[in-house]
Amino acid sequence: TYADLQHLPPAEFPLSQTSGATIDFLYTAANGTPVAGSIIAAGGNGKMHVIRFTAPAQNYDLALQWFNPMIKSFKFLLPDAGLPEAEN
């Protein structure tokens, strides 16, 4: 637990196939480093999927520039669908 944990209320987080929810948070790690992060949750194929993303607070906005486009394009695959074949 972190005594100084701060968080925003849950907010909608759109994914490619559905809408998820995100909770953004900030705390101080044991070594004194401020850490920012997000918990993103969404349901797909009858399951709840959760992703936790953290970075040092000073680098968090820069990290989001890479992370958000990637996670927003996330697709739920059915287990029997397999992965698409690579095009040569």
pLDDT bucket at 69, cuts 50 / 70 / 90: confident
Domains of the chain, each with CATH number or no CATH: 6-74 (3.10.450)
Q: Is the pTM of this model over 0.75?
A: no
Average pLDDT over residues 62-68: 87
Q: Which residue has the tokens 């005594």?
A: 3
**Nearest to residue 50, comparing CAs of 71, 77, 25, 30?**
71
pLDDT bucket at 36, cuts 50 / 70 / 90: very high
Q: For residues 2 and 26, is the Cβ–Cβ distance under 8 A?
A: no
Query: In terms of residues, how long is the chain?
Result: 88
pLDDT on residue 67: 85
Cβ neighbours, 10 Å, residue 44:
16
Looking at per-residue pLDDT, the higher value among 71 and 87 belongs to 71
